[in-house]
């Protein structure tokens, strides 16, 4: 009531002032000002834009059931599946907090966008198969009634992994596992490779494995925007800010064996607004850590890893940013339209980009020469020293780049891997001690392609308490404490 | 739970009849002037009433699931009568035509597409399928990929055939000699790149594909990729047409639905 009265007074004040200044002016002026006054009155009326008290419309809500830290493709996928699997429309309030709303440093947009089933771990293969199915039916899953259909720009050209004599046995084993899981992969001898891809030099290659179906590359930006659009239409709120603090309570509990453990529960998430000092505490029931390369910092904020080393309290989330370069070059005599995504025995990779003989490629550096992840500057010498020589050896047509290399490398950029230093695999599911923090991170470069499936798994964990579609229990956080590595061999 | 769902069904079916035209238009990608009115009315209502919004979403889902339903496999027929009959039945049901080895073309004749004489051909392989203008999609392709003796396949003007479908055609690589993809609105150069598996191909028709960005260059690259194959494609001048003329051609050609 009082607020209404204040508003009315203020309105009158505005009007009165406007009228008094009007008396001296000309009549022509008056006609122009009438509409302005009308607008002013309208803005002052309840529901208008003008508010005499503090305006909080730019802040996130004070309560939200689920807060997702990180609005990349993984975070959005979790949001999507939470909203899709909820029992009743509008049952869960979801807030996505993203620090960088242009996604300029987010791994999603900077990735090469590949998808493959050629992993060594059955869980990874299953995740990837589910994601391929999702991407194929993306316009069913992410359809918004009045918006145009998404154009994923999927290139179904397949992956070609090459193995030296040393790696041939492992590759054969991997392909066996992949076929068991239902992936369409075939093995190729060097001779078959030469027949199929005449541009390849098979020196030092003992075996190749080639994905026939559901492998290739797509436009990551399209997936991100599609998810964002759909999630927004489902009622998920977005907030442009940064998570700076978790307010939590702890409980001293005793296990069956008599050990004392401290269970923590997060009650509030402090979201600091971008370019300002103000923050909003958001009361929440569940926090999902999908902050990608920076999820280690978020975990630390929640007190994960702060304890004596060797205990569960002291086990950190071993995810850190690692910088990876992608180079784009032009080679007029390069391989043609049939070129798959080729991963060489040396770890360097390349793929075709468009029709004009342009190629994208890169290589993962070794542990010792890992570049500083502080900025996203590109080291061009890395291409000269590490990426180009093995590729030129594999594809002799690239040899012609040698003399003209500075002209031919068209562009290059760098992006972050959410690198899991423990075993290069994702972390999914709840933390054993901070009971309401769930992870969806650490995928070390294959997070984009597995995001649709991981989102579903995390949403099932939150809503049902266990995995339903794909059993990801080997990827739970506890493995870091128990020291059980879930090794993935095919990471590049 | 059961009662409201049943009533929703009722409402939806009556609405479905009444708004078929508007719904059809609202799903179009580029709205025309005449369509705009119906579109905005529904949009207006959907923006203000949750019920209308949910209803529209429901109708939209139904439309999608209809295509999936039409493309399901006939497991029973396949187990009972073998892959050839199942494949033929699927194609005829979709409104296409099949040719058994050494026999005449069999076309679907409206309602009685499943004639008992089809069963005489249980052991005869199918050598040609004409699935022009059919609503066949990725899942429906299962029924064709089991026809290992298929030599000629025509998928002209199929609205749901996309790049993902082309990536599966390698399963026919041993037999397929003729392939026509003319007029498919969703096929692009990315899918055409997968045809390199089909090394026995003698004839490939890739003319009039609106989603291919540069038809001339694509044709040259496909010819390079398949040296033994005669590629029918865009005329060399097609890519050089001036902008407005091309636009008028685009709007004139009806999108098959």
What CA–CA distance (Å, rounded) separates A450 from A459?
14
CB A75 within 8 A of CB A96: yes
Minimum-distance CB partner of B189 among A154, A158, A355: A355
Residues of chain B neighbouring A145 (CB-CB closer than 8 A): 26, 46, 53, 56-57, 60
Residues of chain B neighbouring A154 (CB-CB closer than 8 A): 163-164, 190
pLDDT at B36: 54
pLDDT at B38: 59
Closest to A434 measured CA to CA, from A271, A247, A242: A247
Minimum-distance CB partner of A213 among B167, B193, B225: B167
What CA–CA distance (Å, rounded) separates B239 from B224?
19
Given a cut of 60, whether residue A322 has pLDDT beyond it is: yes
What is the pTM assigned to this prediction? Answer: 0.84
Closest to A118 measured CA to CA, from A182, A183, A180: A183
Closest to A238 measured CA to CA, from A465, A440, A415, A67: A67
Residues of chain B neighbouring A143 (CB-CB closer than 8 A): 60, 64
Percentage of the residues of chain B whose pLDDT score is greater than 70: 73
Given a cut of 90, whether residue A79 has pLDDT beyond it is: yes
Residues of chain B neighbouring A139 (CB-CB closer than 8 A): 64
Note whether A154 contacts B190, CB cutoff 8 Å: yes
- Going from the N-terminus, what domains does chain B have, and what CATH number goes with each? 66-240 (3.80.10.10)
- What does the pLDDT average to over A295-300? 94
Residues of chain A neighbouring B206 (CB-CB closer than 8 A): none
CB A412 within 8 A of CB A326: yes
* Cβ-based burial of A16 (10 A; exposed 0-12, middle 13-18, buried ≥19): exposed
**pLDDT band at residue A183 under the 50/70/90 scheme:** very high
Note whether A157 contacts B194, CB cutoff 8 Å: yes
Please give the C-alpha separations between residue A209 and each of A397, A422, A424, B171, in angstroms, as whole numbers.
Answer: 22, 27, 22, 17
CB A442 within 8 A of CB A291: no
**pLDDT band at residue A284 under the 50/70/90 scheme:** very high
pLDDT at A35: 87
Percentage of the residues of chain A whose pLDDT score is greater than 70: 91
Given a cut of 80, whether residue B235 has pLDDT beyond it is: no
What CA–CA distance (Å, rounded) separates A453 from A81?
9
What CA–CA distance (Å, rounded) separates B138 from B154?
15
pLDDT at A405: 52
What CA–CA distance (Å, rounded) separates A24 from A154?
68
- Looking at per-residue pLDDT, the higher value among A441 and A20 belongs to A441
CB A242 within 8 A of CB A99: yes
Q: Which of A17-26, B156-165, B187-196 has the lowest mean pLDDT?
A: A17-26
What CA–CA distance (Å, rounded) separates A216 from A158?
5
What CA–CA distance (Å, rounded) separates A200 from A191?
10
Best mutation site among B194, B204, B206, B234 for testing chain A: the one with the most A CBs within 10 Å?
B194
Given a cut of 50, whether residue B126 has pLDDT beyond it is: yes
Helix (H) or strand (E) run with residue A74 in it: helix A73-85
For helices A2-22 and A27-44, the axis angle rounded to 10 degrees is 170
> Minimal Cα–Cα distance from B215 to chain A, Å?
11
**pLDDT band at residue B95 under the 50/70/90 scheme:** confident
Ranges of H-type helices in A321-442? 380-382, 388-394, 401-408
Given a cut of 90, whether residue A462 has pLDDT beyond it is: yes
Note whether B56 contacts A148, CB cutoff 8 Å: no
Residues 204-223 of B with CB under 8 A from A: 213-214, 217-218, 221-222
CB B177 within 8 A of CB B217: no
- What does the pLDDT average to over A455-477? 95
- Quick: pLDDT tens for B26-72: 333 344 444 555 567 877 887 788 888 888 889 888 988 998 898 88
Kindly state the DSSP code that residue B254 receives in the 8-state scheme: P
What CA–CA distance (Å, rounded) separates A149 from B162?
13
Give the pair of three-digit tokens for residue B206: 């890739």
Give me the residues paired with residue A438 across strands: A288, A430
Note whether A153 contacts B190, CB cutoff 8 Å: yes
Cβ contacts below 8 Å, chain A against chain B, sum to 69
Answer whether B167 touches A (CB < 8 Å).
yes
Note whether B29 contacts A355, CB cutoff 8 Å: no
> What's the gap between Cα A350 and its chain centre?
22
pLDDT at A311: 87
> What's the gap between Cα B21 and its chain centre?
22
**A338-352 burial: b if 16+ Cβ within 10 Å, else e:** bbbbbbbbbbbbbbb
Instruction: Answer left, alpha or beta for residue A274, where phi above 0 means left and psi between -120 and 50 means alpha.
Output: beta
pLDDT at B78: 87
pLDDT at A332: 83
- Quick: pLDDT tens for A222-242: 999 999 999 999 999 999 999
Closest to A293 measured CA to CA, from A415, A147, A431, A114: A415
- Quick: pLDDT tens for A328-346: 988 888 898 999 999 999 9
Helix (H) or strand (E) run with residue A415 in it: strand A409-420
Minimum-distance CB partner of A213 among B168, B192, B214: B168
What CA–CA distance (Å, rounded) separates A246 from A32?
53
pLDDT at B5: 40
Given a cut of 90, whether residue B169 has pLDDT beyond it is: yes
- Cα dihedral sign, A88-A233-A141-B35: positive
Searching chain B, which residue's CA lies closest to the CA of residue A152? B163
Answer whether B45 touches A (CB < 8 Å).
no
- What does the pLDDT average to over A354-370? 90
Minimum-distance CB partner of A336 among B43, B60, B224: B224
Minimum-distance CB partner of A146 among B26, B196, B221: B26
Answer whether B51 touches A (CB < 8 Å).
no
**3-class DSSP assignment, residue B244:** helix
pLDDT at A289: 96
pLDDT at A357: 87
> Minimal Cα–Cα distance from B118 to chain A, Å?
33
Average pLDDT, chain A: 88
Note whether A145 contacts B57, CB cutoff 8 Å: yes
Q: Tell the CATH superfamily of the A323-420 domain.
A: D-Amino Acid Oxidase, subunit A, domain 2 (3.30.9.10)
For helices A220-233 and A73-85, the axis angle rounded to 10 degrees is 40
Does domain A57-155+214-318+422-491 fall under CATH 2.30.60.10? My reply is no
Closest to A223 measured CA to CA, from A151, A140, A155, A290: A151
> What's the gap between Cα A56 and its chain centre?
29
Q: HSE-up of A363 (CA within 13 Å, CB side)?
A: 22
All structural domains of chain A with their residue ranges = 57-155+214-318+422-491, 159-213, 323-420
């Amino acid at each position: 009531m009082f607020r209404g009265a204040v508003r009315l007074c203020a309105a009158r004040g505005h009007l009165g002032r406007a009228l008094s200044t009007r008396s001296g002016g000309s009549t022509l002026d008056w006609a122009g000002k009438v509409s302005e006054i009308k607008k002013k009155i309208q803005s002052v009326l309840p529901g208008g834009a003008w508010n005499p008290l503090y305006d909080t419309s730019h802040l996130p809500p004070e309560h939200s059931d689920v807060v997702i830290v990180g609005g990349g493709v993984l975070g959005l996928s979790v949001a999507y599946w939470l909203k899709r699997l909820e029992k009743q429309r509008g049952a869960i309030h979801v807030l996505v907090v993203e620090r960088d709303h242009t996604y300029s440093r987010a791994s999603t947009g900077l990735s090469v966008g590949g998808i493959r089933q050629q992993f060594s771990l059955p869980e990874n293969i299953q995740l990837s198969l589910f994601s391929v199915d999702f991407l194929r039916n993306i316009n069913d899953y992410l359809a918004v009634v009045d918006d145009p259909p998404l154009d994923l720009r999927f290139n179904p050209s397949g992956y070609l992994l090459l193995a030296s004599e040393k790696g041939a046995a492992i590759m054969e084993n991997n392909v066996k596992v992949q076929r068991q899981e239902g992936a369409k992969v075939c093995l190729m001898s060097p001779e078959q490779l030469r027949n199929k891809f005449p541009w390849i030099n098979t020196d030092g290659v003992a075996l190749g494995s080639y994905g026939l179906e559901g492998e290739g590359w797509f436009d990551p930006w399209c997936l991100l925007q599609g998810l964002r659009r759909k999630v927004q239409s489902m009622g998920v709120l977005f907030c442009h800010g940064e998570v700076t603090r978790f307010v939590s309570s702890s409980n001293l509990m005793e296990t069956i064996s008599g050990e004392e453990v401290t269970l923590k529960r997060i009650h509030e998430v402090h979201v600091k607004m971008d370019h300002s000092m103000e923050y909003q505490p958001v009361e929440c029931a569940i926090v999902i850590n999908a902050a990608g390369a920076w999820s280690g910092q978020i975990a630390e904020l929640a007190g994960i890893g702060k304890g004596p080393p060797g205990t569960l309290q002291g086990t950190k989330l071993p995810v850190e940013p690692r910088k990876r370069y992608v180079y784009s070059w032009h080679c007029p005599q390069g391989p043609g339209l049939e070129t798959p995504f080729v991963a060489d025995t040396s770890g360097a990779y390349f793929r075709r980009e468009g029709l004009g003989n342009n190629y994208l490629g890169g290589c993962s550096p070794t542990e010792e020469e890992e570049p500083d992840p502080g900025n996203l500057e590109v080291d061009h010498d890395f291409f000269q020293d590490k990426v180009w020589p093995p590729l030129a050896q594999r594809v002799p047509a690239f040899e012609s780049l040698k003399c003209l290399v500075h002209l031919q490398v068209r562009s290059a950029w760098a992006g972050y891997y959410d690198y899991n230093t423990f075993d290069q695999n994702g972390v999914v599911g709840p933390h054993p001690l901070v009971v309401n923090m769930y992870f969806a991170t650490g995928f070390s470069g294959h997070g984009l392609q597995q995001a649709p499936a991981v989102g579903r798994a995390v949403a099932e964990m939150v809503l049902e308490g266990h995995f339903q579609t794909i059993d990801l229990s080997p990827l739970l956080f506890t493995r870091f404490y128990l020291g059980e590595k879930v090794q993935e061999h095919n990471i590049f | 739970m059961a009662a409201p769902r049943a009533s929703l069904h009722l409402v939806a079916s009556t609405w479905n009849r009444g708004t078929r035209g508007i719904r059809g238009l609202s799903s179009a990608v580029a709205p025309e002037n005449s369509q705009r009115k119906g579109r905005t009315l529904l949009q207006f209502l959907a923006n203000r009433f949750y019920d209308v919004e949910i209803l529209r979403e429901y109708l939209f889902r139904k439309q999608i699931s209809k295509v999936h339903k039409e493309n399901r496999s006939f497991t029973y027929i396949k187990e009972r009568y073998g892959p050839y009959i199942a494949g033929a039945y699927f194609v005829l049901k979709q409104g296409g035509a099949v040719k058994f080895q050494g026999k005449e073309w069999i076309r679907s004749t409206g309602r009685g597409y499943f004639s008992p004489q089809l069963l005489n051909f249980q052991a005869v392989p199918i050598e040609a399928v004409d699935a022009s203008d059919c609503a066949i999609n990725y899942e429906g392709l299962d029924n064709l990929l089991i026809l290992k003796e298929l030599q000629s396949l025509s998928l002209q003007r199929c609205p749901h055939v996309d790049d993902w479908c082309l990536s599966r055609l390698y399963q026919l690589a041993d037999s397929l000699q003729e392939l026509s993809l003319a007029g498919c609105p969703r096929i692009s150069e990315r899918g055409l790149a997968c045809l390199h598996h089909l090394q026995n191909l003698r004839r490939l028709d890739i003319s009039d594909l609106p989603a291919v960005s540069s038809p001339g260059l694509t044709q040259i690259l496909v010819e390079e990729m398949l040296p033994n194959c005669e590629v029918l494609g865009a005329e060399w001048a097609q890519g050089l047409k001036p902008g407005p003329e091309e636009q008028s051609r685009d709007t004139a050609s009806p999108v098959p639905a």
